[in-house]
Amino acid sequence: MGFMLRVLFVGISLATAVVFKQYRNLTAPMPVPDLNMKQYWGPGDVKQYKEDASIKPFKVSYDAAVIEKLRGKLTDVPKLTPPLDGVAFEYGFNTNRLQDILKYWRTTYLDKWSEREKFLNKFPHFQTQIQGLNIHYIHVKPKVPAGTKVLPLLLLHGWPGSVREFYDIIPLLTTSSKDKDFVFEVIVPSLPGYGWSQGSAKKGLSPSEVAIVMKNLMSRVGFEQFYIQGGDWGSLIGNYIATYFQSNVLGVHLNMCSIMTPLSYPKMFLAALKPSLFIDEQYTDFYFPLSAKFANIIEETGYMHIQATKPDTIGTVLQGNPVGLAAYILEKFSTWTNPAYRNLPDGGLEKYFSLDALLDNVMIYYLTDSITTSQRIYAEAFASDELKKEIDRIPTAVPAACAKFRHELFQQIDWVLKDHFTNLVQSNHFEDGGHFAAMQLPEVLYKDFVAFIASIQK
C-alpha cells in the first residue's frame, strides 16, 4: 500500500510538474521578435520595385460624371423588402429607414457634393510610398506661437470607419487651449486597403504587419518618437506599434482595449465569480454578466466571420453597390453605438451623428472601391501565422491608457490588461458612448486623451 501511495505521489508530482511547465511556457513573457521592416506588399516582383520616398500632396476630387453615375444608381434602386410588422433594426437595417437615407443621399447630399468635397479637403492630405503601397494620410501642423510644446500624434481608425472619424477631434488637438500646455501635430493615415491607401497585393498584411507600415510612415514624415490614439483596428494596431517599438512610442491611448493571452479569458471567467473583488461595483455592468456580453458579441459579429473567411465574396456583393454598402456600414453606426438602438425604427443614427457625416464615411468606401480590401484585414488577423505570434504575451512598458465607453462591443478589466500593458497609468469609464467614440463624443475622448498626456508629461 505504501509503495502504491509512493507511486501515486510520484505520478501526481510528475503530472503537476508537466502541467506547471506547460503553464509556465504558455504564460512566460515573450521577447520582441526580429521584424522585417521592408516586407514588400505591392504588386509584382519586389526585385523590380524601387521605393519612391517622396511625399506628394493629395486632394479629394471626383469628376461630376462619377457623382452623377452614383445618383443614377441611387435612383434605380431595386424594390426593397419591407420590414416585418413591429420590427425596427432587430433583423438588420430597417428598409423604411434606408429608403429615407437613400433619398437624402441622392438629393440633398449629392446636390451639395462640392461642399462635402471641400469639407473633406479642409485638412492637408498627402500620399507616400511605403513597402510597395501608396499610403494616404492627413497631416495637420498646429499654428501656435514659437515656444509652444508640440507633440507628434498618430491617430488610427478601424472598420467600417475612416479618417473621417477624426474630423471633429483634430481641431481640438491642434489648437491651443486652457486645458493643456501643449498641442499636437497630427498624422491620420488611411490604413492600407482603406480609402485612398492602396491595398496589399500579397497575402499576409495582418494587423502586426500594418503596425510596421505605420511605424515606417511616422519615420517618413519625420518622427522617430510619437504618441498614439486608436480605436477598433486602430486600437489593435496601436497596441502592436507600442509593443514592437517601445523606444519610439511615448504613450498609447486606446478606446477599445483588449488583449488575447492564455490567461486573459480564464481571468475574466474567474473575475465573473466575484466581480467586486476586481472592479469598482459601479462599473461591474461594463463587463458582466459575461453571458449577456457574449450574447451581444455573437449577435453583432456575424459580419466578422464572413470577412475573416470570405472577404472577397462579401466585398463583391458590396463594391459598386451604394444601397448595400450604406446598409452594411451604417448598421454598425447604429447598434455599435448602443445595442438598444436595435429597437428604434430609425436606428438612433442621428442621435449623435449627422447624415452628412455618416454619408461622408460611406462615400469614402464607395468612391475608392475599398470595401473588399478593407475587409481582408479580418482574414489576415485570424490567419494561423498571425495568431501564432501571440503578440500580447510581449509585455509593453509604454505608458498606456484605456478609455472605456459603456456601449463598446468588448471590454476587459484592468487585471487582465495589465498582463500586457505593464504601465497602464489611466483607465477611465464613461457612462455614455460606444464604438465610434472619436466621431460620437469627440470632446469626451479628447479630454481623456489630454489628461493622459498631461500625466505622463509630468
Render pLDDT for 288-309 as a digit per residue (tens, 0 to 9). 999 999 999 999 999 999 999 9
1 pLDDT above the threshold of 90: no
Residues 275, 284 contacting (CB under 8 angstroms): yes
Alpha-carbon span 418 to 191, nearest angstrom:
27
Cis status of the peptide bond prior to 289, with omega within 30 of 0: yes
Alpha-carbon span 95 to 322, nearest angstrom:
14
All three cell numbers of 297, joined, read 458579441
* pTM as predicted: 0.94
427 pLDDT above the threshold of 80: yes
Annotated active-site residue 420? The verdict is no
At 27, is the pLDDT very low, low, confident or very high (cuts 50, 70, 90)? confident
The strand order across the sheet containing 125-130 reads 55-58, 125-130, 133-140, 182-189, 149-156, 226-230, 249-254, 400-405, 424-430
10 pLDDT above the threshold of 90: no
User: 311-351 pLDDT, tens per residue?
Assistant: 999 999 999 999 999 999 999 999 999 999 999 999 999 99
134 pLDDT above the threshold of 90: yes
Residue from 109, 137, 194, 232 carrying the catalytic annotation = 232
186 pLDDT above the threshold of 80: yes
- Domain residue ranges of the chain, discontinuous segments joined by +: 128-261+390-457
H-assigned helices in 28-76: 64-75
Return the pLDDT at 23.
Answer: 52
Residue from 109, 287, 378, 446 carrying the catalytic annotation = 378
- What's the length of the chain? 458
Residues 315, 324 contacting (CB under 8 angstroms): no
Enter the DSSP assignment of 377: H
412 pLDDT above the threshold of 50: yes
The helix (run of H) or strand (run of E) holding residue 128 is strand 125-130
**In this predicted model, which residue has the larger pLDDT, 64 or 458?**
64
221 pLDDT above the threshold of 70: yes
The helix (run of H) or strand (run of E) holding residue 425 is strand 424-430
Annotated active-site residue 232? The verdict is yes
Residue from 157, 435, 446, 448 carrying the catalytic annotation = 435
**In this predicted model, which residue has the larger pLDDT, 361 or 3?**
361
Return the SS3 of 384: helix
Alpha-carbon span 359 to 74, nearest angstrom:
13
User: 43-94 pLDDT, tens per residue?
Assistant: 999 988 999 999 999 999 999 999 999 999 999 999 999 999 999 999 999 9
Share of the chain above pLDDT 70, in %: 94
Fold of 128-261+390-457: Rossmann fold (3.40.50)
Strands 55-58 and 125-130: antiparallel
Annotated active-site residue 52? The verdict is no
Strands 182-189 and 133-140: antiparallel
Residues 32, 244 contacting (CB under 8 angstroms): yes
| Residue pointed to by grid coordinates 499576409 | 204
